[in-house]
Amino acid sequence: MSHEKQISAEEFDRRFDAGEDISGHVDWTAARRPNKQTQRVNVDFPVWMVDALDTEARHLGVSRQALVKVWIANCLARDSHSAR
């Protein structure tokens, strides 16, 4: 945490809601990202599919991994909404 003066929770909330920089009042060493744990998986794709992924990733200016993650996340989100 920064060496800034401590403030009340109400003051912290007011500053946050006003869009002020509150980073000096946050202990980032204790920050956690729930449900963001990662697990490595290996997936075998045919060469033509890897080539197509790479072409699309280059077109979008992102990595192959980023493209695959976004596409899978979008499919899962879409499928979870349609299952309701």
**Domain spans of the chain?**
1-31, 35-84
Given a contact cutoff of 8 angstroms between Cβ atoms, the answer to whether 2 and 25 are in contact is: yes
Encoding tokens for residue 42?
């290996």
Encoding tokens for residue 52?
């197509």
Q: Which of 22-26, 38-42, 50-54 has the lowest mean pLDDT?
A: 22-26
- CATH number among 3.20.20.70, 3.40.50.300, 1.10.1220.10, 1.10.10.10, domain 35-84: 1.10.1220.10
State pLDDT tens for residues 42-83. 999 999 999 999 999 999 999 999 999 999 999 999 887 776
Encoding tokens for residue 37?
């744990």
- Integer Cα distance of 70 and 4 in angstroms: 39
